[in-house]
Amino acid sequence: MYKAYLVSTGTELLLGKTIDTNSVFLAERLSNMGIKVVGKSIVGDNHEHIHNAISLGINSADIIITTGGLGPTRDDLTKEVACEVLDCPMVEFEAEVNKLREYFHKRNRNMPEINLKQAMFPVDAKIITNNNGTAPGMYLNKFGKTLICLPGPPHEIMPMYIQEVEPLLQKDYGQNHRQSAVITINIFGLGESQVEEMLADIVEDPRGCSLALIAKEGEIQLRLTAEGESTAHSQSILNELVDRIKSVLGDKIYGYNEDTLPVVVANLLLQQKLTLAAAESCTGGLLAKMLTDMPGSSKYFWGGVVSYSNEAKTKILGINDKNIFQYGAVSEPVARDMAVQIRKIASSAIGVSITGIAGPEGGSKTKPVGTVYIGIDSQRGTQVKQLHFVGNREAIRTLSTKSALDWLRRLLLKNEV
């Protein structure tokens, strides 16, 4: 299996002022290709520290990816130090100089001469275009290693990596060059220890595979890697293990690899030609956001109402205020009314409601923080679930929303809505 090492540069990362999301993004993309990330360094804007980190990466891995330090200022050192480590002198690329001048010209600004350092590269480097900033990246094969230098801002690095770097890595290290096979199984509704307990026999005897459990925002990702004699052999080993896991976890598995709960639910609604409307209270529109993050969501999502206050529940949704007075806004009757009313207002196939106590205040002995009711109304009737979550406000809102999506997914799979 090919190995990668990540180097994130920037004093702001060490000070905690900026979170290193780049390495999380890169590690996941590389892992999906079957490339193992064996280590990561975070260093400040210091020549010696950057030199040591890149040297460590070269000694540890086949691929070294740096992020940050490609700007025009004196403390932007990454590319220069990386080329120094590999003993690759840099020259000025005229085409990159012209791109820089054009970038500043379009913005009616004079280009400082210091920016010209961003047009300096080794003669045999591939230039990675940056359409969202002035700092191009670099892809360089040297001495049996691949060095990739990318800028720091996530909105620059992500499109650069997906559009230009990943195709180059696929060519050099992709399916035709590897023997391993990799898959991620996405699970909802179980804790990490529960998954491990249920899969105890498989964990003890993975039959040529390695397993890794990753907890992520109420979900569990089970990452499997098979190392066989060939890609086909590895895939065969992997398929057998996936079948064993499916037989144990069943519909707790909602998807694979890059599947998300909103995408899975959206596809099921489209396949069954059903529309959905949402009435949300404690989640503040998070369900609607997740469903509309995908383009074309108007085909299955009518819209939603954030009926946060009791007044909104009665005036907009037409909830019977007697139920709110008698049972409280966080209750089975109100969740039922919300689902029924939003479906009626929207004339949609399905109405979903969420009402709960996200905290940190508002709880009681009978209804502590984390108490949530989810309602689903359809032509088959109305169903309500009471759930209890722990965590901070954000965690409770996220778990509530994902639980609603997962319950809807199961009902759609069973044709029970």
Annotate 174-214 with DSSP letters as a single string. SGGG--EEEEEEEEES--HHHHHHHTHHHHH--SSEEEEEE
Identify the bridge partners of residue 180 per DSSP, sorted by sequence position.
227
CA 307 from centre of chain: 29
Distance CA 166, CA 171 (A): 9
pLDDT at position 192 is 92
The reported pLDDT for the residue numbered 409 is 98
Confidence of residue 66 (pLDDT cuts 50, 70, 90): very high
Q: Does residue 379 register a pLDDT over 60?
A: yes
Q: Is the pLDDT of residue 176 over 80?
A: no
pLDDT band at 49 (very low <50, low <70, confident <90, very high): very high
**Does 173 have pLDDT greater than 60?**
yes
Does residue 179 surpass a pLDDT of 80?
no
- The residue to which tokens 């529960």 are assigned: 194
Q: Give me the pLDDT at residue 107, please.
A: 87
Query: Is residue 412 within 8 Å of 254, Cβ to Cβ?
Result: no
The answer to whether 281 touches 356, Cβ cutoff 8 Å, is yes
In this predicted structure, the answer to whether residue 319 has a pLDDT above a threshold of 70 is yes
Task: For residues 413 and 405, give the distance between their C-alpha atoms in angstroms, rounded to a whole number.
Answer: 12
Longest dimension (CA), the chain: 78
Q: ∠268-270-271 over CA atoms, to 5°?
A: 65
Q: pLDDT digits over 100-148, tens only?
A: 899 888 888 988 888 999 999 999 999 999 999 889 999 999 999 999 9
Residues facing 224 on adjacent strands: 183, 211
H/E stretch holding 403:
helix 393-413
Please tell me the distance from the alpha carbon of residue 323 to that of residue 416, in angstroms, as a whole number.
27
- DSSP structure class, residue 163: I
What Rg value do the Cα atoms of the chain yield, rounded? 26
Distance CA 226, CA 183 (A): 9
Structure confidence by residue, pLDDT tens digits, 187-229 = 999 999 999 999 999 999 888 888 989 898 889 999 998 888 8
The reported pLDDT for the residue numbered 180 is 78
Kindly list the structural domains of the chain, giving each domain's residue range(s) and its CATH number in brackets, ordered by start: 3-177 (3.40.980.10), 180-256 (3.30.70.2860), 261-413 (3.90.950.20)
Distance of CA 7 to CAs 23, 69, 80, 147, 226, Å?
8, 11, 14, 11, 27
Question: Which pLDDT band, with edges at 50, 70 and 90, does 230 fall under?
Answer: confident
Write down the mean pLDDT value for the chain: 94
Buried b or exposed e, range 12-22, using 16+ CB within 10 angstroms: ebbeeebebeb
pLDDT of 177 over the 60 cut: no
DSSP letter at 116?
Answer: G
Query: Quick one: residue 77, left, alpha or beta (phi over 0 = left, psi -120 to 50 = alpha)?
Result: alpha
Percent of the chain with pLDDT over 70: 99
| pLDDT over threshold 80, residue 361 | yes
Of residues 145, 138, 101, the one with CA closest to residue 120:
138
The size of the chain, in residues, is: 417
Report the SS3 class of residue 128: strand
Structural tokens at position 296: 């074309």
Distance CA 278, CA 303 (A): 7
Which pLDDT score is estimated for 368? 97
Q: What is the pLDDT of residue 181?
A: 85
Which of these ranges, 33-37, 64-68, 373-377, has the smallest mean pLDDT?
33-37
Tell me the two tokens of residue 83: 């080329």
Is residue 248 scored above 90 in pLDDT?
yes
Three-class SS of 120-153: EECCCCEEECCCCCCCCEEEEEECCEEEEEECCC
Mean pLDDT of 80-104: 93
pLDDT digits (tens, 9 = 90+) for 7-17: 999 999 998 88
CA atoms within 13 A on the CB side of 37: 18
CA angle 88, 90, 93 (to 5 degrees): 140
As given in the structure block, the two tokens for residue 179 are 């023997």
pLDDT at 252: 96
pLDDT band at residue 175 using 50, 70 and 90 as cut-offs? low
According to the model, what pLDDT value does residue 251 have?
Answer: 95
